Structure 1
Amino acid sequence: MLVTGLSIIESNEWWIRIWDFPRVQILGLLLLGGGLALWLDRQAGRWIALGCAVAAGWQLYRIYPYTPLAKTELAFADDASIAQSRCFGVLSLNVLESNRDYGRTARLIDRVRPDILLLMETDQRWADALAKQLVRYPHRLEQPIGNTYGMIFATRLPMRDGRIETIAQKDTPSVHAELTAGDRFHVIALHPRPPVPGQDTEARDAEIAIAASRAARAKLPVLAIGDFNDVAWSHTSQLFKRVGGYLDARIGRGTFATFPARTPLLGWPLDHMFVTPEFKVHSLEVLEDVGSDHLPIHSRLCLTGRSGANKAPDAVSNEDRKDVKEVLQEYHEDRRER
């Protein structure tokens, strides 16, 4: 009940924001705790059970959209009716820099053969180990770094204006590129830093907010992918989704948890794939463990233009605009203090 209350507080402190992550697990513990309280002590247990029920209701409210009980917002497409030139595969994976079992990732890439490949936490050893796979891609953006924030982006699709940028935090690259699949579209790939002891979320939230604002200004369809180090149901991710005008194929279908890899049933959706309404999704799946602490996420997308089959993106409110402004203000104040 305490950590549920903490998660409601609007704060960038790491010890508060970490409770955004395990909502499914907290919900399970609240249901278990409430049941045990009633069984062990009928009188006092009623009050404990009531508190657990209220807290469980809040947790369920936050994760409900990512259950099959909710209504979907992004249509799945039968690409038989869509020109193949407008469809492409995307594979996104945080490889875990310390994972040196390169062969499993190499075999995954060989089997899936995605048109767009995003690899995160890649140092030079990873870049060298996957050279045989990467050379097949005519367009590559690579910044291998030994700080767990290296990034490799590779694509077979025609690319223009591709670049690696540092949006908010030094040595934390992001990818921005314009690709073509029948029509042009923009790709944003992010891997901001997570909330951990000694590291609050100002820079992470600022990077996500800046990327969302760029998407809102883009005159092209946008695909946003990467390990956001933030769960899909957090305030920051939902703000990113509204401000950027995105839809999420996971809504109404499941969490598609990718972390931690070895306990996916108890995991969190840290790896994301948001699209604007011009896309349809033919498939979305979390793939097998390849030795990382994250599972790969793979999708086949089709660029079809705006369709009535997709739900309209949630409207951006004045409160959302205020939140973005506050996020950026807090980030700049933190930078000045440092």
Structure 2
Amino acid sequence: MTASVQDSGFPWRKIGIWALIVVAGLVILVTIASAVPSNQWWIRAWDFPRLAVLTVGGLTLLAMLFLHFRFRWPIAALLAAALAYQAGHIFPYTMLARVEAERIDIAGAEREAHCFTTLSLNVLQDNRDFGRTLELVRREQPDLLLLMETDTGWREAMEPVLADFPHRFEAPLPNTYGMIFASRLPVDSGEMVNLTEPGTPSFHGELRTRAGLAFRVAALHPRPPHPGQDTEERDAEIAIAAMMTRNSGMPTFTVGDFNDVGWSETSQLFRRVGRYVDPRVGRGFYATFPAALPAFRWPLDHVFFTEEFGLYSLSTGDAVGSDHLPVRAEVCLAPEEGDRLNTPEQAEADDAGDLEEVMQAYREDQVIERATGEE
């Protein structure tokens, strides 16, 4: 006769308790780490998986209610506090929060004159399934197209669709930071610029709607935190882009793979300094990475605009072979309507100080890199 689990003598209950304690401890530790004001990659990386940490921690807390063991309640209290901290960051990106950008009601000739469509995609440089991206661009027919991680192979493969855009700005690179920006709208000026690091271009330009209204576009793809790469350069690039928007005084549309999430301190500062609206607030994550793991995705690819714009639509597309999903948006430059529809986050008293801290950390990092001969 087969022995039951109870009679087997194997300490299943004790193992279960210790597993809960270990998982609860890890959730608490990574939450504390994510709250530390540091530019170290291994700390800032915990900005990304807040939903996964919240989910795992929530299941652990639920399980702890059914297993009695010593110090259960103190551990549960610490875990609950960690979960509350995680939830506070991601709550604005749920449908329980107030929408920050109401949809604009526009149609017909006015929509054609004042609105434009955008498509952005980090193609994954090593992905050589060019056909799916070509089909995506042909199907969407965007007014503005941003492709990231584009090397010369990608640039040549995309020529059949790029030929339809009268304005193209290209910086194909072999280092996974190549970029292509193309526009069907009139372009007054535009250039690829390395704001903080060599070989990490971003696009900045002035365009016009079909009605002739001028606006700025910024397209960013800074480097992510990973071993050997802390966040001084990434944070500085995002901050500089925000200051460029503020100083221009022009309506600005910004798009790209920020290698940062919308709820991070860096992105929040970017929004306040640039007076940006985040159309995901109150609507959902619109998570794009990693494409192959729907349950564990986070939002790396962003669309922001200043309050002169109105949101017509926003969505993520199906996977096309990359590790990112494409992002589609349609916005309308209608200053009076935008002012009525949008409620951007208000500036805070310490924003100027936080901005200076970001730039000072970047300057110090550059001094260290020059002294050590690092690139």
TM-score of the pair, normalised by structure 1: 0.98
C-alpha distance in 2 between matches for 1:90 and 1:216: 22
Number of the residue aligned with 2:254: 224
Q: Which amino acid aligns with 1:145?
A: L
C-alpha distance in 2 between matches for 1:239 and 1:176: 20
Number of the residue aligned with 1:129: 157
Q: Which of these residues, 222, 229, 232, is aligned with residue 202 of structure 1?
A: 232
Number of the residue aligned with 2:18: none
Number of the residue aligned with 1:311: 342
Q: Which of these residues, 66, 71, 75, is aligned with residue 44 of structure 1?
A: 71
C-alpha distance in 2 between matches for 1:83 and 1:300: 10
Number of the residue aligned with 1:268: 298
Number of the residue aligned with 1:13: 40
- Count of residue correspondences: 338
Uncovered stretches (5+) of structure 1, i.e. residues with no partner: none
Q: What is the DSSP-based 3-state SS (H/G/I as helix, E as strand, rest coil) of the residue aligned with 1:337?
A: helix
Number of the residue aligned with 1:95: 123
C-alpha distance in 1 between matches for 2:336 and 2:354: 28
1:189 counterpart = 2:219: yes
Q: What is the DSSP-based 3-state SS (H/G/I as helix, E as strand, rest coil) of the residue aligned with 1:237?
A: helix
Identity among equivalent positions (%) equals 49
Q: CA deviation at 1:42?
A: 4.9
Q: Which amino acid aligns with 2:250?
A: L
TM-score of the pair, normalised by structure 2: 0.88
Number of the residue aligned with 2:367: 336
Q: Does the 8 Å contact 2:191/2:205 carry over to 1?
A: yes
C-alpha distance in 2 between matches for 1:88 and 1:69: 29
Q: CA deviation at 1:161?
A: 1.3
Q: What is the DSSP-based 3-state SS (H/G/I as helix, E as strand, rest coil) of the residue aligned with 2:222?
A: coil
Q: CA deviation at 1:43?
A: 4.4
Uncovered stretches (5+) of structure 2, i.e. residues with no partner: 1-27, 370-375
Q: Within 5 Å, which residues of 2 pair with 1:214-293?
A: 214-293=244-323
C-alpha distance in 2 between matches for 1:257 and 1:273: 12
Q: Which amino acid aligns with 2:257?
A: D
C-alpha distance in 2 between matches for 1:42 and 1:31: 18
Tell me how large the CA RMSD over aligned residues is: 1.1
Q: What is the DSSP-based 3-state SS (H/G/I as helix, E as strand, rest coil) of the residue aligned with 1:39?
A: coil
1:176 counterpart = 2:204: yes
Query: Which structure: larger Rg?
Result: 2
Deviation track 1:186-245 (CA, whole Å, cap 9, x = no partner) reads 000000000001110000000000000011111210001000000010000000000000
Q: What is the DSSP-based 3-state SS (H/G/I as helix, E as strand, rest coil) of the residue aligned with 1:89?
A: strand
Q: CA deviation at 1:276?
A: 0.4
Deviation track 1:241-288 (CA, whole Å, cap 9, x = no partner) reads 000000011000000000000123321000000000111111100000
Number of the residue aligned with 1:120: 148
Q: Does the 8 Å contact 1:121/1:148 carry over to 2?
A: yes
Deviation track 1:125-160 (CA, whole Å, cap 9, x = no partner) reads 000001000000000000000000000000000001
C-alpha distance in 2 between matches for 1:100 and 1:41: 54
Q: Does the 8 Å contact 1:257/1:265 carry over to 2?
A: no
